[in-house]
Amino acid sequence: MKKTVVLYPGVAVTHFVPMMQLIDALLEEGYAVVVAIIDITNSKNLAFAAAVDRVAASKPSVTFHALPRIQDPPVVTTDVRFLIGYFELVRRYNEHFGEFLRSMPPRSVHAVIVDSMSNVALDVAKELGIPTYIFVSCSASALAVSIQLSSIRKEGQLSFKELGDSPLDFFGVPPVPASHLFGEMYEDPKSEVYQVFLNSFRKILDANGMLVNTFDSLEARALGALKDPRFFPGGESTVPPVYSVGPLVEKGGENTKEKHECLAWLDKQPEHSVVFLCFGSFAFHTEDQLKEIAVGLEKSGHRFLWVVRALPRGDTFAVHGDPDLDTLLPEGFLERTNGRGLVVKQWAPQVDVLCHKAVGAFVTHCGWNSVQEGIMGGVPMLCWPLYAEQKMNKVFMVEEFGVGVEVVGWQQGLVKAEEVETKVRLVLESEEGERLRARLTPLKEALATAWNDGGSSRAAIGQFLLDAADVGKAKGRA
């Protein structure tokens, strides 16, 4: 009987998709794969349901098991209390998850990999003696910061909110302004939100190891720090083994049967001439901000491909209709830029776009999946963070990796047209843009080979499987 690796993803698309990219490597190593899914059929998270259906259809040899639906599931809000509701949802499914693991043939499970946001399920697998690992969808640098958050501020010191833009020194990364941390860190340190958030990062240290969606050449400093005994001064805790198994991004062309209209348009544009603007699955801009972007793009004189999403109406997990471009954008903008620019509603095949030779710059919200996709295409990035760890990613992209420049004004809530114009020109016209592209070249090459035979990520997944076997033997599961 084949040994089985059980994947237990979170219900966020940005976490689910990269975890699913592990499947092919596990199958190639000779393991069976089972994916346990929290049933959210009746929720408004249609994007997640669609992602599950898409992956399940593309991987017929993999078993997707929906855990039985719970009664009266907790409400997961989209405000600062999001994680409280999310963790409670996962906790309520722990009983069903445990029943599922116990239903599998004895000692058939080689390892369980749990999404970092579902870490309250760690104890379920560990109590059964199963080697249990955390999947980290963010950068190793953001992970390093997150783990150190609980020890960097002492009682009686200024809170993170009171520190404002003061730089904080974390081991393994460049200084990070206090204002660039997760939004939960600006709550009252005694609040439930603050404490739940910090405890979630302490909890992942209970895993037998962490699989991180990154590659060695990109984050050598942070990865080295996570493995350094000095990471926790005084030895008050230890970091479990870290395996860099990225980049875990969907391959181009996987989501569409027919060529998207924007790719046909890009085929007609000169090399490195187009700035691509896309802000992820959940990000929205106000009407005022959209107009500023439009004016900046028009004044820059450069070609552009811009993905515009509908403005939110209440729950941002819901799928909204197409945006009304005539209302949201300046009058006559589409006509004046016709041929030089293309505005796409809601979605574009980002991987295909970024790997297209016509694209010369990428305006991004700095989500980690997007960052790695930008590096995969060798495209200099204009960093415009919006939420979660994206503000920290901006620091790493500009100060550590050297792959982007900051778009100023995001902290004040409105990036002016002049800034959009200036930064687009900087990347597409100046020597700075060429320097960024030159720094990206070796990273692009390293990314392309990480999963090849002998590559760093291929070796890491092999080491993880060997280590999981050793953990299993120590638990008497050989």
Residues involved in catalysis: 15, 115
Torsion, CA 342, CA 12, CA 283, CA 169, rounded to 10: -120
**Amino acid (one-letter) located at 159:** S
**Beta-strand pair 63-66/4-8:** unpaired
Q: d(Cα 330, Cα 291) in Å, to the nearest integer?
A: 6
As beta bridge partners, residue 439 has none
The CB density around residue 472, as the number of other CB atoms within 10 Å, is 20
- List, as one string, the DSSP characters of 5-54: EEEE--SSHHHHHHHHTHHHHHHHTT-EEEEEE---TTSS-HHHHHHHHH
- Which residue from 111, 125, 126, 148 is spatially nearest to 243, judged by alpha carbons? 111
283 C-beta neighbours (distance < 10 Å), count:
18
Q: Are 94 and 132 in contact (CB under 8 A)?
A: no
Beta partners for 75?
none
8 Å CB contact between 221 and 173: yes
Q: Are 22 and 77 in contact (CB under 8 A)?
A: no
Token pair recorded at residue 368:
């980690």
How many whole angstroms separate alpha carbon 210 and alpha carbon 131?
Answer: 12
Select from 235, 250, 340 the least CA-distant residue to 17: 250
Q: Are 311 and 282 in contact (CB under 8 A)?
A: no
State how far the Cα of 338 lies from the Cα of 64, in Å rounded to an integer.
45
Buried b (16+ CB within 10 A) or exposed e, 140-153: bbbbbbbbbbeeeb
CA dist., res. 84 & res. 411, Å (int): 26
